[in-house]
Amino acid sequence: MKRLTPELIHFFQNQGFVIVSTIGKNGLPHNSCKGIARVEVNGRIYLIDLYKAVTYRNLKRNPKISITAVDEHKFRGYCLKGTANIVCAKNLDEEVKKIWEEKIAARAANRLVRNIREEKGHPDHPEARLPKPEYMFVANIEEVVDLTPGDLR
């Protein structure tokens, strides 16, 4: 596994979501939005998947994964590449589950505050309807690609 720098850990932990890419049965990439529960210095990333659909099926067939996030304002981004395991929720560390629950509560609170300020967004609180995770993907990162243009690094 690739060791992750404190800067990289901070960058990914502060993302509202990331784009996860897997390989479909037709050999083409499949992209979906996922939440991050935890990022570890040893290159392990815990990703939440709530619907047990295409990403889940793809990873059962082929464990290759990439995780991409960008900060448009700072003009920075990274793509993390590696393999992922599917881990049943009952086998997960309680701390990881708690971190995810706290992130969902924070998202709902943030949406509520923004709606009170009359910033246009989703009129409902979709986070309140999200199912509890039955499993997580645990990605083991092997490569880090800095997407920041070379002259801006």
* Residue 36 resides in a domain: yes
Contact 125, 112 (CB under 8 A): yes
* Residue 98 resides in a domain: no
Whole-angstrom CA distances from 102 to 6, 18, 36, 96, 125 are: 21, 17, 12, 10, 15
Beta bridge partners, 98, equal: none
pLDDT per residue over 38-53, tens digit each? 999 999 999 988 788 9
Domain that holds residue 57: 6-89+132-152
Query: What is the phi/psi pair of residue 32, to 5°?
Result: -155, 160
* Residue 116 resides in a domain: no
* Residue 109 resides in a domain: no
pLDDT per residue over 52-86, tens digit each? 899 999 999 999 999 999 999 999 999 999 999 99
Residue 77: the pLDDT is: 96
* Residue 16 resides in a domain: yes
